[in-house]
Amino acid sequence: MSPARPLRHGHARLLLLAALLAFAAPVLLRGEVVFPHRNREELGLPPAPAGRPESRVFSDLSSVFVPQLHQHLNGDAAGWLSTWDPHTELGRPSLHTGGLSKAFVLTHALSWVSDDAFRVYTALALAAVAGTGLFGFELLAALGLHPAACLAGALSLALGAFVPFWLRFALFVWGICWTLALLWATTRLLERPSPLRALGLAFAVHALLLTGYPQQVVWHAWLVAGYALLRLARQPLAARARLRRALAWAGAVLAGGLSTLPVTLDLALLARRSARLGADADFFLAALPALEGAREALAFLVTSFDPLWLGSPLLEAYPARFDGVALLPLGAACALWSLLDGLPRRLWPAQAFAALTLLLALVPEAFQIGIRYAGLGLSRFDPLAAGLIPLAALAAYGADHALRNGLRQRSAALLLAGLPGPLLAAAAAGAGLPVAPGPVLAALGLAAGACAVALTRSAALLALLALAGAAHYALPLRGMRPLEEIARDSELAALLRRETGDGSRYALVGDAGLLLPSNQEQLLGLRSVHTYDSLSSRAYQAWAQRASEAGTRVYGRYFRSLASPRDLSRPALDAAGVGVWVAPGGLGPAAAGERLAALGGGGIYRARERPLLEAQLTGFEETGGALRLAGRLRELPRLPVARTLDRDDRLEFQVTPASGPTLLFVSQQHHPHWRAFAGAVELACLPVDGIFLGVLLPPGTGSVELRFLPHARHAWIPQLGFALLFAAAAAAALARRLRGRTRRASPARS
């Protein structure tokens, strides 16, 4: 009998691809999509019969990501991508981060295939998973690790706990995916610079900035910079050669960053106009693990080892806080092996980074130092998640050492692999945590398999355990469902569309529960005065405070509804274009207009007067580059005006020529990138009452065109540039390879 062939990197890649295809099987075979619930209560429909578990823990997917993507795929933009979203917040700029905009080349390509936001989001999320696995594998292979160790490390990254758990928040997945691509490109470029490798590095930076979660990007920037410096320092090069490679790396990183300027310039303006950058430390400390007592600490340890012991973390009834960070039995064993046999002499940087994330997660005072001095105060992010890549690398190195050299400290290796599981299971049972026996037995089996790897040095066994672990943890966490189960319209939404078909808005009054969550207006073809936006402008927040006694919450992030029917008499609502009130609790007799339909104990009411969406006024005051109405909008004298073009980012009006200056008032939010023109003449575009859009009309003006012109509309330029440069670099590399083959094939000269 011939000896078994050793596992090669090509075989390991095929196994990785098979695992990724199995993870995506519900989409590929049954057309399912990533979505956490059936969206029925949100649209005023009765709850569906029992079926697949539902969860609103990941409400950002249904209230932000899919609606925002729908706007980019289906918005009525005059240009090639959506730049202005008229549906919420009195109108606001469309976001181009998170991979949800056509400013990201993959989303742009998918928009040519489908305009269904549910399917496109699912394709993007699965592409991020696949990229995480493939780039992780290539990085570990570039570091010279055993094929089985590369497979185990890649699977722990792509199909462990974090990535499947956050499939409904793909920004986190993209952050890992493109950071791994960046680390791989860094490894190859510093090993042997070439134009193609520099271009790949630049694109990885470009993609990371356009898709990743901002706070995660900051964490990973520290990781990548430290890795590049250490990698360069450890190479046996002359000082001049080392400097050339450092400059090549820095130049590629800079080029990738500059290529995102069409998006990041607009994002910087949004951030400056919002209250978000002024958040205090307590806002960010809420991201840290809750360790208020011994039971909470034990639950933290259990979920960090194996979250399935306490049930499905996708469900709202999950008995502990879980942010997706879990080592899992096989990964924990291999990572702990990196502490043995002198490995820390080589691996101390990764171990130090992982230890730093643990310190910042467990010690709020240390985390506050990071917030103040290390850029960790952009948004909430669990520091432990920043250590996932170093931990996966440590696990791969531990597995590589066990396979290639054998673990000399075998007793310690067996204890580190086999002891944590039984100890945690016994402690959890003793503390009364609701531990499920099936997942515990599966975890103990994987730990026992790790012990067997330590004893046998079997690459096949390690690969089998890695695949089994991926199936056990990733499949229950992916949370997909058939598209037809998801409610996408209702009688309530249809009624609101009919009543606001003139471009007017609706407003929720009182406690509406789950009904019509902010941002689903984009999906439903509606407009409202509400928002769920982390970067809502200070002007909008001030208006919301004037419009409702509750105002916005959490630094302007939420404006869910008017506090009570008393708010309907506030002057700030006069100009907001509200034509319909949605009041499940009812309206008082003085406030109520015509009731259109019953809803809860109240109903849906048409406003007493048709809202004014535009007006040409003579009663206004100009002070300090801003405009103020000289009274309530409806009571001011008006000249005839007609809207002749109504697109998201372009409006045209026929106005009445007047002998003196007048004001064109438009009931939507002002933004500095709105520009107004009368023919070839640009007009002054100013905020009215601090929030609305106004245009100063010179005497005799008869028509006005408004265009929204942000920098993001130029995002096609870096896409075309990267495409051309990749084509040129690939052609040059192919030509060099062909010339090399020709020289080798030609007879040697005598």
- Mean pLDDT computed over 328-349: 95
Of the given ranges (144-148, 175-179, 350-354, 623-627), which has the lowest mean pLDDT?
A: 623-627
Number of CB atoms found within 10 A of residue 750's CB? 3
Is a pLDDT exceeding 50 seen at residue 1? no
pLDDT band at 743 (very low <50, low <70, confident <90, very high): confident
Is a pLDDT exceeding 60 seen at residue 21? yes
Residue for token digits 């939404």?
493
Is a pLDDT exceeding 50 seen at residue 3? no
Is a pLDDT exceeding 90 seen at residue 737? no
Q: Could you report the per-residue pLDDT of 618-651, keeping only the tens digit for each?
A: 989 888 888 999 889 989 999 999 999 999 999 9
Q: Could you report the per-residue pLDDT of 422-441, keeping only the tens digit for each?
A: 999 999 999 899 999 999 99
Is a pLDDT exceeding 80 seen at residue 363? yes
Q: Please name every residue paired with 706 in a beta bridge, in sequence order, or none if there are none.
A: 651, 676
The closest of 142, 91, 18, 8 to 533, measured between CA atoms, is 91
Residue type, 202: A
CA torsion, points 370, 375, 381, 383, in degrees to nearest 10? -40
Per-residue pLDDT at 581: 95
Per-residue pLDDT at 282: 83
- Mean pLDDT computed over 90-96: 96
Confidence (pTM): 0.95
Per-residue pLDDT at 663: 96
Nearby residues of 292 by Cβ (< 8 Å), 6 or more positions away: none
C-alpha 270 chain-centroid distance: 17
* Spatial distance between the Cα atoms of 605 and 592, rounded to a whole number of angstroms: 7
Cβ 314 vs Cβ 55: under 8 Å:
yes
- Mean pLDDT computed over 66-90: 96
Q: How many residues does the chain have?
A: 750
The closest of 398, 342, 320 to 152, measured between CA atoms, is 398
Per-residue pLDDT at 591: 62
pLDDT band at 302 (very low <50, low <70, confident <90, very high): very high
Number of CB atoms found within 10 A of residue 250's CB? 12
Per-residue pLDDT at 592: 61
Q: Could you report the per-residue pLDDT of 473-528, keeping only the tens digit for each?
A: 999 998 899 999 999 999 999 999 999 999 999 999 999 889 999 899 999 999 99
* Spatial distance between the Cα atoms of 278 and 38, rounded to a whole number of angstroms: 36
Is a pLDDT exceeding 70 seen at residue 739? yes
Is a pLDDT exceeding 60 seen at residue 2? no
Per-residue pLDDT at 590: 56
Per-residue pLDDT at 4: 53
The closest of 598, 634, 595 to 499, measured between CA atoms, is 595
The closest of 301, 317, 217, 229 to 257, measured between CA atoms, is 217
Per-residue pLDDT at 593: 77
Of the given ranges (129-138, 178-187, 594-603), which has the lowest mean pLDDT?
A: 594-603
Q: Are strands 578-583 and 505-508 parallel, antiparallel or unpaired?
A: parallel
Is a pLDDT exceeding 80 seen at residue 690? yes
Per-residue pLDDT at 622: 86
Cβ 270 vs Cβ 535: under 8 Å:
yes
Helix (H) or strand (E) holding 599: strand 594-599
- Mean pLDDT computed over 317-326: 92
Is a pLDDT exceeding 80 seen at residue 745? no
Mean pLDDT of the chain: 93
Is a pLDDT exceeding 80 seen at residue 16? yes
Is a pLDDT exceeding 90 seen at residue 291? no
Cα radius of gyration rounded to whole Å, the chain: 29
- Mean pLDDT computed over 673-681: 95
